[in-house]
């Protein structure tokens, strides 16, 4: 005799999608704060660009949610 679990895959997918979206927002905010801190402490534009590239923050986009601004 077999027993099958009747879970709704759409509910599970929705939970994972929600968690991924929340994580994406969290990292976007964190990366923007890091980029702002680096820019504040840089000696010039080239120094800032080099430091951001070292941190992997040289390709930030402007698609942040307005409510998550710090």
- Please provide the DSSP assignment of 32-61 as one string: HHHHHHHHHH-SSHHHHHHHHHHHT-TT--
Is the CB of residue 60 less than 8 Å from the CB of residue 43?
A: no
Question: Each residue's pLDDT tens digit in the chain (70 positions)?
Answer: 566 666 566 767 788 889 999 999 999 999 999 999 999 999 999 999 999 999 998 766 555 544 444 4
CA 47/CA 53 separation, integer angstroms: 10
CA 47/CA 39 separation, integer angstroms: 9
């Amino acid at each position: 005799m077999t027993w099958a679990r009747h879970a709704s895959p759409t509910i599970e997918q929705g939970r994972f999608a929600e968690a991924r979206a929340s994580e994406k927002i969290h990292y976007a905010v964190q990366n923007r704060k890091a980029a702002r801190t680096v820019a504040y402490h840089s000696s010039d534009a080239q120094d800032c660009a080099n430091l951001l590239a070292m941190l992997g923050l040289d390709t930030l986009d402007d698609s942040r949610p307005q409510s998550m601004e710090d």
